[in-house]
Structure 1
Amino acid sequence: MTHRFHPTILRDYDIRGTVGDTLNEADARAIGHSFATRVRRAGGRRVAVGRDGRTSSPMLEAALIDGLVAGGVDVVRTGLGPSPMLYFAEATLEVDAGVQVTGSHNPAGDNGFKLVLANESFFGDDIRDLARVAETGDWEQGTGSVTDASVREDYVARLLAGHAGGAYRVGWDAGNGAAGPVIEQLTRLLPGEHHLLHTEVDGTFPNHHPDPTVPANLADLRALIARERLDFGFAFDGDGDRIGAVDARGRIVWGDQMLALLAEPLLREVPGATVVADVKSSNALFDRVRALGGRAVMAKSGHSQIKALMRQEGAAIAAELSGHIFFAHDYYGFDDAAYAAVRLIRAIDLSGCTLAELVDRLPATCASPELRIAVPEDRRLAIVEEVRARVQDNGADIDSTDGLRVSTNDGWWLLRASNTQAAITLRAEARDEAGLDRLLATIDRQLALSGVSREA
């Protein structure tokens, strides 16, 4: 017996597709059987499994577990919760691997799987190897067991371990995602006054889509902060591994800015530590890390890529512009939005300033948000390569860490293929508005030559 996956679901750092179209119950079962095979061949036997709050997650979880059990591994179900809770379970329970059923920040009809083996991300060629195992029927066989483990209380206790941050008035928007119950429990234990939004888990996302990189999705949080005159607020994506932040003046604090704020106390505690940030991050962040005596490293975007690079470089902390923040110093090395919130509260308290004052101190730049443009799947990589060829012919200064990051007298612009959706993503940063307009105009000209419009 063999199985063939739709090729578009095998992303570089996880598995994602549209349920009922490119991803179905049989796929989940085959993913489970193939992953069980890899776990057993690595000498493992127990796998933790969690799921997010999407409407399709219980079905996919059940099929995944069927496949894992058929592959001869024992399953420990951790139930509904954010991806970081599953990562915590994989790091602290007596298991050899973990799988989270999640569509992360994708549309409500999408879903997928994030995988961990022996405390390391399972991505790239390893994910593609699952397809080989399934297509050839090269499966281990067996009969595993299924047990349940309640880890939420231990997880929340770990989020707060050693926390000595001050008492603030904070807004929290869980976006009806899987982090909601954790945020409810966490805020009951944190000092201060806490105002909660949309913590009921609902996979239809009735209030707004849970993606804090899109300013429109922060409207409810910004309104709450203004109405209640709060000190700041946090927002979370669908599976609770990405954080958004808003200060008392309603300004969005992006992932690279959060990393700049977190790096300061960390580099006092660990002088010379390595700090990793993705290719979408501001030059101001890399400059700030170096000014604080740290070692700054630029990484490809993607949670699995960054976790692997952190291990390789011995980094203490890392972040993506999109709000994934990874903590290795005093934590486990994975991205965790709830933990990031706790650490940000501590950093604000240690500074003796408000978050708004800290944002005021950051270098002034003019940057676009990360812009995502839907394109046909078969054009996702090709468009980036077409643009690369044209700008290379013009002698541009290109960094190829991930896609192409082009430096000019005005600043820089980035174009890369999304690893999670049929889309390309872009960002630009300049010293002033006129420079940003010129950079965006350059991108628009290049996209037009490849038949793409940013306004589409």
Structure 2
Amino acid sequence: MTHTFDSTVLREYDIRGIIGKTLGADDARAIGKGFGTLVRRAGGNKVVVGYDGRVSSPMLEHALVEGLTSTGVDVRCIGLGATPMLYYAEASAEDVQGGIQITGSHNPPDYNGFKMVFQGRPFFGADILKLGEMAAAGDWDSGVGGTEHVDIIDAYVDRLLQGLDGIDPEVLARLKVGWDAGNGAAGPALEKLAARLPGEHHLLYTAVDGHFPNHHPDPTVPENLEDLRSLVSAKSLDFGVAFDGDGDRIGAIDGEGRIIWGDQLLMIYAEELLSRTPGATIIADVKASRALFDHVTAHGGKPLMWKTGHSLIKSKMKEASSPLAGEMSGHVFFADGYYGFDDALYAGIRLIAAAARLGKTVTQLRGEMPAMLNTPELRFQVDESRKFAAIEEVKARLANSPDQVDGTDGVRVTSKDGWWLLRASNTQDVLVARAESDTQEGLDRLLKQIDDQLAASGLERGPQAGH
């Protein structure tokens, strides 16, 4: 028995495809066989499995579990829930050696996929390619594993609430917060969490619905925050928090309806953490604002710029012993009092905690941030065969540039006008650009530099590509 995956399915950070076209039950079974075999060969015998609210998720779960148990691995099924609940189930149980969450994250409803953790570390890149090689060769162990169904949602909510330990209950009781689950997998845990939180909490769209009838569950897109903004305004709330489809990315707005972007949230978390842990290393991806790196330095921390990608950031955190990291996309990772994975529900709790400990409102904290002029993430289609080559060409042309050129992930160029970034997406045939300045004139000059570099490689910033 062998299996061949569609060429688009095995990706850098996860496995993802379109149900009925590039991804189906046979693929899920083969993933289970490969992953189960790797767990067995590493001396393990138990894997935990969860799934999100997509219509296709139960079908994929059934086939995945079949594949896992066929290798002799036992499976603990935790059912429907957010991706971080699966990470929690893996991290908090000593008898588990791996975890798989079936999730399409923030992709359209006909997509689905898998996020994996192996012996406490992210499973990505070469690990994922290995599953493809094993399937092509039929290199799978065989055995008979068992399954058990365990409900962990209450234990998970208990753990989330520990993020508020030591905070004056009277301060918490005065809070008024809006929450938008976007009909994603975080809804059930959010309902239980809000019911136990002090203060006043207003919830939107907690019913899990894989068709996403109210708005798409991607909190980095401003229009997806409109319902939350209306709620915060109508009820005069302190701030609002939104989640993506599988609950590992956070979006937020302050009491005035201003968006608090991923790097701005990290500024708030970093300020609070550094007040308790001076000198800590705080990691952010190459798309983050200069204001964040300056803020970390100003509060006595060590800023570290790293590659975009949740698996890459998690790995770097372990290497640098960093207690906090984050990405523009809303992945925030807390290893300070937590497990180091990206959990948007916990990030919501830590936003409450940060404001309380700093003695400021979220609106105040957002208002104190410097007004930077920056572009959103500009994404445009570039042929797969050209995207990495073009970045190398840009690097070569800038080898003797008087500006500061950082090649951590793509090219990030800093000059007196500010900075610009050009990088290749690891998951799509897309180049990503971003620029930031103090003035509109400066921003225009930076964008011209990007366009000049693209032109020199025979490319242009074409129409915007989706995620």
Q: TM-score, normalised by structure 1?
A: 0.95
2:146 aligns with 145
**In structure 2, what is the equivalent of residue 332 of structure 1?**
339
Identify the residue that residue 274 of structure 1 maps to in structure 2.
281
Task: Please list, as runs of the form range in 1=range in 2, the aligned pairs for 1:198-213 lying within 5 A after superposition.
Answer: 198-213=205-220
The residue number in structure 2 matching 1:437 is 444
Instruction: Measure, in 2, the Cα distance between the counterparts of 1:355 and 1:162.
Output: 17
Matching of residues 160-175 of structure 1 within 5 Å? 160-161=161-162, 163=164, 164=167, 166-167=172-173, 168-175=175-182
Counterparts of residues 229-248 of structure 1 (less than 5 Å): 229-248=236-255
Query: Alpha carbons of 1:444 and 1:205: their partners in 2 closer, same or farther (altered >3 Å)?
Result: farther
Q: 1:107 to 1:443 in 2, by over 3 A?
A: farther
Check whether the contact 1:50–1:83 (CA below 8 A) recurs between aligned residues. yes
Q: 1:202 to 1:421 in 2, by over 3 A?
A: farther
Report the equivalent of 2:264: 257
Task: Note if contact 2:163-2:353 (Cα within 8 Å) is conserved in structure 1.
Answer: no
Instruction: List runs of 5+ in structure 2 lacking aligned partners.
Output: none
Q: Residue 79 of structure 1 aligns with which residue?
A: 79
Distance across 2 between alignment mates of 1:379 and 1:15: 23
Deviation at 1:373, TM superposition (A): 2.9
Alpha-carbon shift at residue 379 of structure 1 (Å): 4.9
Name the SS for the 2:431 alignment partner: strand
CA distance, structure 2, for counterparts of residue 147 and residue 188 of structure 1: 28
Please identify, of 221-230 and 395-404, the stretch whose mean Cα deviation from structure 2 is larger.
Answer: 395-404
What does residue 58 of structure 1 align with? 58
Which of the residues 300, 304, 312 maps onto 1:293?
300
Q: Superposed, which structure 2 residues align to 1:25-36 within 5 Å?
A: 25-36=25-36
Please state how far the C-alpha of 1:12 moved relative to its aligned partner: 1.4
The offset of 1:383, in angstroms, is 4.6
Secondary structure, in 3 states, of the residue corresponding to 2:283? Answer: strand
Distance verdict in 2 for CA 1:162–1:444, change over 3 Å:
closer
Q: Secondary structure at the match of 2:274?
A: helix
Say whether the 8 Å CA contact 2:249–2:331 is kept in structure 1: yes
Q: What's the counterpart of residue 453 of structure 1?
A: 462
TM-score (norm 2): 0.93
Q: CA deviation at 1:162?
A: 5.3
Contact 2:2–2:135 (8 Å) recurs in 1:
yes
Q: Which amino acid aligns with 1:453?
A: G
1:97 has 2:69 as partner: no
Deviations 1:418-448 (A, max 9, x none): 2344433222111122222222333344445
Asked if structure 2 preserves the Cα contact closer than 8 Å seen for 1:213 and 1:370, the reply is no
- Cα distance between partner residues in 2 of 1:107 and 1:417: 22
Distance 2:222 2:401 in 1: 35
Match of 1:70 in 2: 70
* Paired residues of 1:181 and 1:200 also in contact (CA < 8 A): yes
Map 1:214-233 → 2, pairs under 5 A: 214-233=221-240
Distance in 2 separating the partners of 1:388 and 1:305: 22
Distance verdict in 2 for CA 1:389–1:242, change over 3 Å: same
Moved more, 157-166 or 296-305: 157-166
Q: CA deviation at 1:392?
A: 4.9
| Mapping 1:40-51, distance limit 5 Å | 40-51=40-51
1:16 equivalent to 2:16? Answer yes
For 1:413, the equivalent position in structure 2 comes to: 420
Residue in 2 aligned with 1:123?
124
Offset, 1:364: 2.3
Q: Is the 8 A contact 1:387 1:450 kept in 2?
A: no
Aligned CA-pair RMSD = 1.9
**Shift in CA distance, 328/297, structure 1 to aligned 2, threshold 3 Å:** same
Distance in 2 (CA, whole Å) between partners of 1:400 and 1:23 is 35
Structure 1 residues 162 and 285: CA distance shift in structure 2, 3 A: closer
The answer as to whether partners of 1:375 and 1:423 remain within 8 angstroms in 2 is: yes
Query: Does structure 1 residue 357 correspond to structure 2 residue 364?
Result: yes
Tell me the SS of whatever aligns to 1:86: helix
Structure 1 residue 75: deviation in Å? Answer: 0.6
Assess, with a 3 A threshold, how the Cα gap between structure 1 residues 444 and 433 changes in structure 2: closer, same or farther. Answer: same
Q: 8 Å contact 2:379–2:464 — kept in the other structure?
A: no
Q: Deviations over 1:291-315 (max 9, x none)?
A: 2111211111111111110000000
3-state SS of 1:166 partner: helix
Rounded Cα–Cα distance in structure 2 between residues aligned with 1:267 and 1:108: 40
- The answer to whether the 8 Å contact 2:182/2:245 transfers is yes
Q: Rate the CA distance shift 1:83–1:245 in 2: closer, same or farther, 3 A.
A: same
Unaligned residue ranges in structure 1 (runs of 5+): none
Shift of 1:332: 0.5
2:38 aligns with 38
Work out the CA distance in 2 between the residues paired with 1:211 and 1:179: 13
Deviation for aligned residue 1:290: 1.5
Provide the C-alpha distance between the structure 1 equivalents of 2:255 and 2:130, rounded to a whole number of angstroms.
48
User: Are 2:291 and 1:284 equivalent residues in the alignment?
Assistant: yes
Over 3 Å counting, the alpha-carbon distance change for 1:17 and 1:384 in structure 2 is farther
**What amino acid sits opposite 1:129 in the alignment?**
K
Q: Deviations over 1:221-256 (max 9, x none)?
A: 111111222110001001100000100111110111
What is the rounded CA distance, in whole Å, between the counterparts of 1:169 and 1:288 in structure 2? 27
Question: Does 1:426 find its partner at 2:440?
Answer: no
SS at match of 1:401: coil
What residue identity is the alignment partner of 2:172?
A: G
* Matching of residue 399 in structure 1 with residue 400 in structure 2: no
Counterpart-to-counterpart distance in 2, 1:379 and 1:55: 36
CA distance in 2 between partners of 1:32 and 1:360 (Å): 48
Paired residues of 1:444 and 1:453 also in contact (CA < 8 A): no
Alignment map for 1:317-396 (pairs within 5 Å): 317-392=324-399
Give the direction of change, closer, same or farther, for the CA distance of 1:96–1:427 in structure 2 (3 Å limit).
same
Residues 71, 144 of structure 1: 8 Å contact kept: yes
CA distance in 1, matches of 2:26, 2:387: 27
